[in-house]
Structures are given as structure tokens and as C-alpha cells.
């Protein structure tokens, strides 16, 4: 998954996730037999802001083989992309990220890389059968602010491999970095350019972007208006 916040060429972000979905960007614990052996081939989704409202597009097709012309054409200060590697749930539209719901009158969108065994019962009507969708609703249904709920739910998890998430509202983004194993694969990086912040599962070769790896058990907050970033451990 990858997201850009601010002014950065959309096509560069789209090309980056194509490269990652084909497993052609970096070596990690799941592709020890060589690049191209760990494909994210279970569908894809995109979410972006248009007139301060979320727009979403998704497909069960393999991202790296699909026609992404409409995504390349997106003009938005916020663009979030997810290529799915199915763990819980089959390959279906209902199981594709991004998930969208409201809390206190604010619309949030969510995607997740990882695997959570703590499957929750939630009050919301879920579309599919993924751990990711239930995790999202659990966060929004928890009492307190979204930040408080985010941290509380993350701390409550006991059985998981990785819980790297992007939680976007029109004005701010929360990011979690949490894993128990395979730090190269389940890690996450943050990139900075003069006019944008980029969050990505993998550091990719993007022009004028400087990358840093985010420590495990971190919460990142990004203010969309100022591009201000805070990173807290939990």
C-alpha cells in the first residue's frame, strides 16, 4: 500500500504500487526465492478526495495487469492505493479495501497490510469476511476520539503478524506500524518531498523523496493542511 498527501505526481505513485504488487521493488522474508515470487494479486483499490468527499475505485483484477488509466488521471491532494494479498476472505469485491464509514460526522477510509487473528464482532454491517474490515469498524465503534480508539484497539491485539494501516479523514491521516515477525515485509516507510508526505509499505525510487523506516509499535499522525507529522510509540 502507498499513499501521498500533498502535491506529488499521481502517476509516480501509481507506478510505484504496480512495481510493489509485482514484487519487483525489494527483497524481504516472503520472496527469499527471488523477486516476483510474492505477488499481490488479489485485487486492488484506490481512494482519493474530491471536493472534500471520498471517491473510491476497486477491482478484483490483478493490479499489475489492469487498466489504471482512470487512476493515473486522478488529481487530488490525497491518494491512497492498496494491492491486496488475500489472507482472510476470498478474492471478491466485498473483501477489497478501502473501507469507508463515519464517526462523529466525519467520513474515514481505511486500508490494512498484515494479518490479524483477533477477529472481532462489530456492530456495523460488514461487506465481506476480512480481518481488515472488522478491525476498521472496531476502531470507529470504540468510545473516545479516533486517535484514542486507534491506540486502544491496537494495544488490545494479541494474535497478529502485522497491523500496518492507513486511516484517512479529509483533514488528517493516522498510520500504524505494528508487527511481530518479518520486519522487512511488515515494516513501513515514510517519504518526504518539498510538497508531499508519502507513506508506503516499501521505500520506492521516487524523485526528490527522502525515506526513513518507521519503528515498530508507532503511530504516525499527518495534518493534511500543514503536512505536519508526529510519530509516537505505543
43-83 confidence digits (pLDDT tens): 999 999 999 999 999 999 999 999 999 999 999 999 999 99
173-226 confidence digits (pLDDT tens): 999 999 999 999 999 999 999 999 999 999 999 999 999 999 999 999 999 999
Dihedral (Cα; 184, 185, 186, 190), 10-degree rounding: 70
CA distance 3 to 173: 10
Reply yes or no on whether the pLDDT at 107 is more than 80. yes
Please list the alpha-helical segments (H only) found in 40-189: 69-72, 131-141, 146-156, 183-186
Q: Of 127, 43, 46, 136, which Cα lies nearest the Cα of 85? A: 43
Residue 117 pLDDT class (50, 70, 90 cuts): confident
CA distance 211 to 177: 15
Residue 231 near residue 12 (C-beta atoms within 8 A): no
Mean per-residue pLDDT over the chain, rounded: 95
Q: How far is CA 78 from CA 8, 55, 145, 170, in A?
A: 10, 11, 22, 8
| CATH number of the domain located at residue range(s) 2-87+98-233 in this protein | 3.60.20.10
Domain ranges of the chain: 2-87+98-233
Reply yes or no on whether the pLDDT at 86 is more than 80. no
CA distance 113 to 124: 21
CA angle at 180 for the pair 178 and 182, rounded to the nearest 5°? 100
Residue 101 near residue 135 (C-beta atoms within 8 A): no
Least confident of 26-30, 93-97, 105-109: 93-97
Q: What interhelical angle do 131-141 and 146-156 show, nearest 10? A: 130
176: which strand partners? 165, 219
Q: What pLDDT shows up at residue 27?
A: 97
Reply yes or no on whether the pLDDT at 126 is more than 90. no
Q: What pLDDT shows up at residue 88?
A: 67
pTM here is 0.95
Least confident of 34-38, 85-89, 152-156: 85-89
Amino acid at each position: 500500500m502507498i499513499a501521498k498527501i500533498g502535491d506529488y505526481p499521481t502517476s509516480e505513485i501509481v507506478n510505484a504500487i504496480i512495481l510493489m504488487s509485482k514484487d519487483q521493488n525489494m527483497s524481504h522474508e516472503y520472496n527469499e526465492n527471488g523477486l516476483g515470487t510474492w505477488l499481490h494479486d488479489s485485487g486492488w483499490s484506490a481512494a482519493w478526495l474530491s471536493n472534500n468527499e471520498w471517491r473510491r475505485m476497486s477491482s478484483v483484477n490483478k493490479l499489475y495487469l489492469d487498466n489504471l488509466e482512470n487512476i493515473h488521471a486522478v488529481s487530488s491532494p490525497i491518494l491512497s492505493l492498496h494491492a491486496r494479498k488475500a489472507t482472510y476472505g476470498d478474492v471478491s469485491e466485498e473483501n477489497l479495501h478501502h473501507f469507508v464509514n463515519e464517526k462523529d460526522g466525519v467520513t474515514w477510509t481505511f486500508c490494512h497490510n498484515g494479518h490479524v487473528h483477533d477477529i472481532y464482532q462489530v456492530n456495523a454491517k460488514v461487506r465481506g469476511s476480512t480481518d481488515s474490515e472488522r478491525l476498521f469498524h472496531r476502531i470507529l465503534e470504540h468510545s473516545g476520539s479516533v486517535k484514542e480508539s486507534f491506540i486502544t484497539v491496537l494495544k488490545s491485539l494479541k494474535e497478529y503478524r502485522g497491523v500496518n494501516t492507513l486511516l484517512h479523514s479529509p483533514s488528517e491521516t493516522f498510520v500504524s506500524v505494528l508487527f511481530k515477525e518479518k520486519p522487512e515485509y511488515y515494516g513501513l516507510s515514510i517519504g518526504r518531498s518539498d510538497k508531499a508526505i508519502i507513506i508506503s509499505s516499501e521505500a520506492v525510487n521516487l524523485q526528490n523523496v527522502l525515506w526513513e523506516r518507521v519503528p515498530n509499535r508507532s503511530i504516525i499522525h499527518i495534518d493534511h493542511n500543514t503536512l505536519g507529522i508526529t510519530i509516537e510509540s505505543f
